[in-house]
Amino acid sequence: MSATIIDGKATARAIRAEIAERVRARTDAGVRPPGLAVVIVGEDPASQSYVRGKRKAATAAGFHSVVHELPGDTSREKLLSTIDALNDDPAIDGYLCQLPLPDHLDKQEVIQRIDPEKDVDGFHPINVGRLAAGLPGFIPCTPRGCRELLLRGGFETEGRHAVVLGRSNLVGRPMAMLLGQKGPGGNATVEVCHSRSGDLAEACRRADILISAIGRPDFVTADMVKPGATVIDVGINRVDAPQGPGSEKGYRLVGDVDFDAVSQVAGAITPVPGGVGPMTIAMLLQNTLDAWERRTGG
């Protein structure tokens, strides 16, 4: 029997509507709108596409949206001064610097320059530490989106064996921490696997909940999945498409999971595209809303 499709588009749409209603109610009462800013350096096409999507979603939700577009040869001093200005701007509740940055700029220096109270990407070491300690703080948007899909879909995590493929600071590590925390969407037994792990297939077959974030197209095959497991595919990979869907662009998007085959084994699965991707932007808005409500007494 085919797996239940976990519809990230529909879930994200519902969350964005909830956020817009909350914003409308408070701005109608005279509170200024939430402020979200994005800094983008250079002209990477994928980054520009992401930024356009974020701005469109923020505007639709009633946010004050600002984009700082800087040329690819922007100096370290110019970028840091832009960040300092956003740290000091009372109309901005949260912001991010779109990654990747040009090679001459230090990503870690930039992340650590961001005010942790405005770090809606959740990448600042202070927010990472808060997450590790189980304290309130900003949760990285993609892991938070994955957890929200599990919560809203009614997928039980308590007592389940969860396997996270990937150990990046952006997805794998925070995802594992969320699943292992006390509370809703947590209390799982978590196993983190990566490129140096032994027998990845056997590890995946132990998973009641399998989260793949390794960036390898169609890596997870049907024989690696426990029948009835819940599969969350974080991967977004471009593969050649000389014909069929995406052929006009020369590529198509696929996840880390062989969707057609795995969907015949899993109990539930996210598609790519249309699964985790829309949730990432929804959680960026949610993080910004949280920051705004703290700053304005909501």
Ranges of H-type helices in the chain: 8-28, 45-60, 76-88, 107-113, 125-133, 141-152, 172-180, 200-205, 259-262, 276-296
Residue with tokens 């690696």: 224
Superfamily of domain 141-277: NAD(P)-binding Rossmann-like Domain (3.40.50.720)
Average pLDDT over residues 253-277: 96
pLDDT of residue 238 exceeding 90: no
pLDDT digits (tens, 9 = 90+) for 150-191: 999 999 999 999 999 999 999 999 999 999 999 999 999 999
Read off the DSSP letter of residue 145. H
Q: Where in the chain is the domain with CATH 3.40.50.720?
A: 141-277
Known catalytic residue at 121 = yes
**In 3D, which of 286, 284, 253, 252 has the Cα closest to residue 270?**
253
- Paired residues of 231 in beta bridges: 210, 269
The CATH architecture assigned to 30-115 reads 3-Layer(aba) Sandwich (3.40)
pLDDT digits (tens, 9 = 90+) for 125-134: 999 999 999 9
Q: What angle do CA 69, 26, 83 make, to 5 degrees?
A: 25
Q: Which of 38-52, 229-243, 267-281 has the lowest mean pLDDT?
A: 229-243
Distances (CA, A) of 296 to 91, 136, 146, 290: 11, 17, 28, 10
Residue with tokens 């000091």: 88
Residues 221 and 193: beta-carbon distance below 8 Å = no
Cβ neighbors of 202 (< 8 A, separation 6 or more) are none
CA distance 268 to 2: 8
CA distance 120 to 225: 34
Over pLDDT 90: what percentage of the chain? 90
pTM of the model: 0.94
Question: Which amino acid makes up residue 252?
Answer: R
DSSP3 helix / strand / coil % (the chain, rounded to 5): 40, 15, 40
Average pLDDT over residues 221-250: 85
CA distance 124 to 121: 8
pLDDT of residue 242 exceeding 80: no
Residue 85: pLDDT band (50, 70, 90) is very high
Residue with tokens 């396997």: 163
Helix 141-152 to helix 8-28 angle (10° resolution) is 100
pLDDT digits (tens, 9 = 90+) for 35-82: 999 999 999 888 999 999 999 999 999 999 999 999 999 999 999 999
pLDDT of residue 1 exceeding 80: no
Catalytic residue among 93, 118, 119, 121: 121
Q: Where in the chain is the domain with CATH 3.40.50.10860?
A: 30-115
pLDDT of residue 245: 60
